[in-house]
C-alpha cells in the first residue's frame, strides 16, 4: 500500500528472530514490502521449548503458518501446578481458549515455519550476515548502516526501521536506551528424550520453580528450572521430588540463561521513524510464558496500524497506544506469578493450601483477558 506519507522503499526490520520474521510476514499481509537484516550468517535452530497460548496462535494463524506448526507441536489443555518437594498436585489451570487451544513447541520449529513462509514471500527479502552498527533518524525516514560478515558495510534508507533484535538490541543501544536489567534470576534448561508424561507441569518450591512439557509429538521434553543466580554449575536435583530430580539428573543440560528484562517505559516510544518490537521493547521474565507471544502480537498490531493509518507517525502512535497497556498488564501478571511461585517457607505452605481451594474455572478466569485476545483481520 502506498499512501501520501509512504514511498516505495521497503520497510527495514533488524533481526530475524520470532519478532522480526513475524513482522515481515505481517507487513506482507498488509501489503508492505520489507527487508530483514540478520546479524547471523545462518539461522540455526537454537533455543528450547516455548508455550504458545491462543492469543499467540491467532497471530500465527493470520500469518498462515499455524497448520504446519501444529504438525509437530504438543497440544495441551491444562497446566498442572505441583508442590516441588512432594510432587503433590496443587491445581490444574485450564489454558485453552476457544478452538485455538494451547501448544508447546520447540522454538526451532516456530522459527522454521516462519522462515519457510518468509523465504517464499516475494514481498520479503532476508539478508543474513548484516549486523546493525548505526542509525540516523531523518525527517523522511531512517538511514541504517550494517557491518557485513564478509567485511564490507551496507547502508539502507527506509521510511520505517523496526528493531526486532532481541534483549541485547543494538537498535535500542544506538538510540541511547538504557541497557537491559539483570533480574538476579537464572533459567537452567534441559531436554529429555524419553521422559514419561503428557502434560505441562510446573513445580513450585521456595524461591524457585521448574516447568516441564513435551515440545514435540515425538515426545522430546523441555525442562526449565528458574532460581536465584548462584554458582555456575548445573543443578543437581537435590531438594526436588524424586521424579523431577530424575528429570534433572538424566536430562541433557543445555545451559544457563541469566534472565534479563527491559523496561518498556524506556523502549515503547517513537524514536522518529524507529520502533522496537519483541524482547528489544519489553523482554520479560518467563513467569507467564508470554515473551514470544507478545512479540507475535506486536508484529500483528504494528502491521494493522500501518494498514489503517496513512500517516506514518500516526501509525507508530497507534501501535504504541495499543501495545503499551497490554504489555503493562502482562508485566503485572508476570510480577504476580514471580511473587507467588517463589514464595519462601512457610508462606509457600499457605500458597499451596490456597491454590488447592481454587476452582479450575476461577483459575482460567484470571487469564481470560490474556488468552482470549485475538489478532483482528487487517483492514
Ligand X SMILES: Cc1cc2nc3c(=O)[nH]c(=O)nc-3n(C[C@H](O)[C@H](O)[C@H](O)COP(=O)(O)OP(=O)(O)OC[C@H]3O[C@@H](n4cnc5c(N)ncnc54)[C@H](O)[C@@H]3O)c2cc1C
Q: Which residues of this chain interact with ligand X, rule CB under 6 A? A: 14-20, 37-40, 50-51, 130-132, 164-166, 170, 187, 224, 257, 278-280, 286, 289-293, 295
Cα separation of 84 and 91, whole Å?
A: 13
Task: Please state the closest distance from residue 15 (CB atom) to ligand X, in A.
Answer: 3
DSSP 195: -
Contacts of residue 374, Cβ cutoff 8 Å, sequence gap at least 6: 54, 55, 58
Cβ proximity to ligand X: between 280 and 318 the closer is 280
Cβ proximity to ligand X: between 40 and 137 the closer is 40
Task: Report, in this order, helix, strand and coil percent for the chain, each rounded to 5.
Answer: 35, 30, 35
Cβ proximity to ligand X: between 273 and 309 the closer is 273
* The pairing of beta strand 208-214 with beta strand 130-138: unpaired
Look at residue 262 and give its three-state secondary structure: coil
Cβ proximity to ligand X: between 39 and 309 the closer is 39
Which of these, 290, 291, 234, 280, lies nearest to 257 by C-alpha position? Answer: 234
Cβ proximity to ligand X: between 130 and 326 the closer is 130
Cβ proximity to ligand X: between 135 and 316 the closer is 135
Cβ proximity to ligand X: between 277 and 352 the closer is 277
Cβ proximity to ligand X: between 14 and 210 the closer is 14
- CA torsion, ordered 230, 235, 239, 245, to nearest 10 deg: 160
* The pairing of beta strand 89-94 with beta strand 274-276: unpaired
Task: Please state the closest distance from residue 209 (CB atom) to ligand X, in A.
Answer: 11
Task: Using the structure block, give the residue that is written with the C-alpha cell 478466569.
Answer: 365
Task: Please state the closest distance from residue 36 (CB atom) to ligand X, in A.
Answer: 9
**Cβ atoms within 10 Å, residue 27:** 26
Is cis: bond before 114, omega within 30 of 0?
A: no
Cβ proximity to ligand X: between 106 and 351 the closer is 106
Task: Please state the closest distance from residue 128 (CB atom) to ligand X, in A.
Answer: 9
Note whether 192 and 252 are within 8 A (CB): yes
Which of these, 217, 290, 235, 224, lies nearest to 59 by C-alpha position? Answer: 290
Task: Please state the closest distance from residue 292 (CB atom) to ligand X, in A.
Answer: 3
Task: Please state the closest distance from residue 132 (CB atom) to ligand X, in A.
Answer: 4
Cβ proximity to ligand X: between 32 and 287 the closer is 287
Task: Please state the closest distance from residue 105 (CB atom) to ligand X, in A.
Answer: 9
Task: Please state the closest distance from residue 41 (CB atom) to ligand X, in A.
Answer: 10
Cα separation of 11 and 177, whole Å?
A: 22
Cα separation of 130 and 161, whole Å?
A: 14
**Cβ atoms within 10 Å, residue 228:** 11
Task: Please state the closest distance from residue 7 (CB atom) to ligand X, in A.
Answer: 24
Handedness of CA 18, 226, 45, 55 (dihedral sign): negative
Q: Which triple of cell numbers denotes residue 152? A: 564490507
Task: Please state the closest distance from residue 53 (CB atom) to ligand X, in A.
Answer: 8
* Residue nearest ligand X by beta-carbon distance: 17
Note whether 118 and 25 are within 8 A (CB): yes
Amino acid at each position: 500500500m502506498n499512501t501520501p506519507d509512504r514511498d516505495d522503499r521497503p520497510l527495514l526490520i533488524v533481526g530475524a528472530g520470532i519478532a522480526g520474521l513475524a513482522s515481515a510476514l505481517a507487513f506482507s499481509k498488509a501489503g508492505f514490502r520489507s527487508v530483514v537484516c540478520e546479524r547471523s550468517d545462518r539461522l540455526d535452530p537454537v533455543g528450547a521449548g516455548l508455550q504458545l497460548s491462543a492469543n499467540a496462535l491467532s497471530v500465527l494463524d493470520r500469518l498462515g503458518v499455524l497448520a504446519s506448526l501444529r504438525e509437530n507441536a504438543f497440544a495441551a489443555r491444562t497446566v498442572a501446578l505441583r508442590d516441588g518437594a512432594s510432587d503433590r498436585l496443587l491445581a490444574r489451570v485450564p489454558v485453552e481458549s476457544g478452538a485455538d487451544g494451547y501448544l508447546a513447541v520447540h522454538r526451532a520449529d516456530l522459527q522454521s515455519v516462519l522462515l519457510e513462509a518468509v523465504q517464499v514471500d516475494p514481498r520479503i527479502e532476508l539478508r543474513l550476515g548484516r549486523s546493525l552498527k548505526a542509525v540516523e533518524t531523518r525527517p523522511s525516514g531512517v538511514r541504517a548502516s550494517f557491518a557485513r560478515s564478509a567485511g564490507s558495510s551496507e547502508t539502507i534508507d527506509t521510511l520505517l526501521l523496526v528493531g526486532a533484535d532481541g534483549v541485547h538490541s543494538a537498535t535500542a543501544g544506538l538510540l541511547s536506551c538504557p541497557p537491559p536489567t539483570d533480574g538476579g534470576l537464572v533459567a537452567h534448561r534441559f531436554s529429555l528424550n524419553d521422559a514419561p508424561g503428557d502434560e505441562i507441569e510446573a513445580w513450585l518450591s521456595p524461591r524457585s520453580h521448574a516447568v516441564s512439557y513435551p515440545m514435540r509429538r515425538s515426545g522430546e521434553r523441555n525442562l526449565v528450572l528458574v532460581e536465584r543466580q548462584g554458582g555456575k554449575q548445573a543443578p543437581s536435583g537435590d531438594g526436588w521430588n524424586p521424579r523431577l530430580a530424575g528429570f534433572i539428573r538424566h536430562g541433557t543440560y543445555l545451559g544457563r540463561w541469566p534472565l534479563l528484562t527491559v523496561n518498556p517505559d524506556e523502549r515503547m516510544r517513537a524514536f522518529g521513524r524507529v520502533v522496537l518490537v519483541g524482547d528489544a521493547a519489553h523482554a520479560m521474565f518467563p513467569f507467564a510464558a508470554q515473551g514470544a507471544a507478545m512479540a507475535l502480537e506486536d508484529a500483528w498490531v504494528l502491521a494493522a496500524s500501518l494498514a489503517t493509518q496513512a500517516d506514518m507517525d500516526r501509525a507508530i502512535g497507534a501501535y504504541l497506544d495499543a501495545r503499551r497497556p497490554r504489555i503493562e498488564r502482562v508485566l503485572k501478571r508476570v510480577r504476580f506469578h514471580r511473587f507467588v511461585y517463589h514464595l519462601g517457607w512457610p508462606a509457600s505452605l499457605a500458597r499451596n493450601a490456597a491454590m488447592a481451594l481454587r476452582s479450575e474455572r476461577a483459575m482460567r478466569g484470571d487469564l481470560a483477558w490474556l488468552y482470549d485476545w485475538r489478532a483482528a483481520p487487517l483492514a
